Amino acid sequence: MLKSKKTDSSISRDTTQIKKRQKTEMAQNGSKNTVKLIGTWSSPFALRARIALHLKSVEYEYIEEADVLKSKSDLLLKSNPIHKKVPVLIHGDDSICESLNIVQYVDEAWPSKLSILPSNPKERASARFWAHFVDGKGFESIDAVAGAKDDAGRMAAAGNLMESLAALEEAFQKSSKGGEFFGGENIGYVDIACGAIVGPLSVIEAFSGVKFLSPDTTPGLVQWAERFRAHEAVKPYMPTVAEFVEFAKQKFNVQ
């Protein structure tokens, strides 16, 4: 049986089609690998996402919400239609919302020797517990102090905040195992979670004159906070105390 031979023109057409398919595949792969983060500089929750992406060496486009307090971009409303707030991680065509959820996603989507969450199931569960403790009791206590209407309410809220910080101090002493961070020698999930309260704490300390993180009551957390701020994955993205205070003055219209 004779085999048909392709003409030069048909070979050329085939080659062209292959190149087109390859370009299409490259474009599709590029779309899938595109990473964007919607945030705002003052958000302690957006800070979490930026730290996680930095630790995993993920290249991404950062999109700053110009004035998240007064208006929200169409991209933010489209990407997070439920809560309409930052941060939002956009990975290809998918949107991942809520900061702790984003940190876990980043850890799993870009696996490497540097793991943010502990590999041990018991330690992993403990890390999640303390992260949720921060987002629950930790921020509730901070908000209560900031929003107190009178001295009695402020003192009660301050007492609750002190109790929450005492619990975190004990957790740090146990989980750090003599290391510099909650995760031991390396910054990890609980560090990223707790790091979100460092800025807000500095603001209420500046306004109230009370030191909630004190060498007398929370010596471990005091040293941890200093190391956290100075860490190479944190320092480029974390505002200074002065910047946090100025933002709070504008937000709450305080002179």
User: What residue spans define the domains of the chain?
Assistant: 32-109, 121-252
The per-residue pLDDT for 144 is 95
Confidence of residue 67 (pLDDT cuts 50, 70, 90): confident
Using DSSP, state whether 151 is helix, strand or coil: helix
Per the CB < 8 A criterion, the answer to whether 136 and 183 are in contact is no
pTM score, two decimals?
0.85
Confidence of residue 103 (pLDDT cuts 50, 70, 90): very high
Q: What is the mean pLDDT of the chain?
A: 88
The per-residue pLDDT for 255 is 61
Between 250 and 68, the more confident residue is 250
* Rounded mean pLDDT, 40-65: 97
Name, in order, each residue with C-beta under 8 angstroms of 108's C-beta and a sequence gap of 6 or more: none
Q: What's the CATH code, domain 121-252?
A: 1.20.1050.10
**DSSP 8-class letter at 35:** E
The kind and range of the H/E element at 246 are helix 241-251
* Rounded mean pLDDT, 207-219: 94
Q: What's the CATH code, domain 32-109?
A: 3.40.30.10
Give whichever of 24-28, 36-40, 182-186, 247-251 has the largest mean pLDDT.
Answer: 36-40
The per-residue pLDDT for 71 is 86
Confidence of residue 66 (pLDDT cuts 50, 70, 90): confident
The per-residue pLDDT for 10 is 44
Nearest 5°: the CA angle 147, 150, 153 is 70
* Rounded mean pLDDT, 6-20: 44
- Residue listed under structure tokens 């486009």: 61
Q: Among 11-20, 40-49, 171-180, whose mean pLDDT is lowest?
A: 11-20
| pLDDT reading at 42 higher than 90 | yes
Tens-place pLDDT, residues 24-39 = 333 333 346 899 999 9
Q: How many CB atoms lie within 10 A of CB 125?
A: 10
Backbone angles phi, psi at 235, to 5 degrees: -55, -40
**Spatial separation of the C-alpha atoms in residues 66 and 232, rounded to whole Å:** 26
DSSP 88-124: EEEETTEEEESHHHHHHHHHHHS--SS-SS-SSHHHH
